[in-house]
Amino acid sequence: MEEKDCSAIKIFYTTHSRYARRDLLLLLLMLTMMWAARFWFDTNYNRSIKNQILFSIFT
């Protein structure tokens, strides 16, 4: 059973890896763009909260 599952997962990954990678990259790009826009357009609004969130993310 485990070998069958592994082979099915491998077949699925090899047949759909190209599209899955492209969709994952597009999703990551969209998320990063939304995140960056949210922080770049809120420069005058809630500056202290932005700094607190950035500090909590990068440490």
How many whole angstroms separate alpha carbon 3 and alpha carbon 39? 47
CB-based burial, 21-49: b 16+ in 10 Å, e otherwise: eeeeeeeeeeeeeeeeeeeeeeeeeeeee
For the chain, give every domain's residue range.
2-58
Q: Which two tokens stand for residue 31?
A: 């998320």
Q: Could you read off the pLDDT of 14-50 as tens digits, one per residue?
A: 656 666 677 788 888 888 888 877 777 666 556 677 7
Predicted TM-score (pTM) of the model is 0.38
Return the pLDDT at 1: 46
* Cβ-contact 43, 51 below 8 angstroms: no
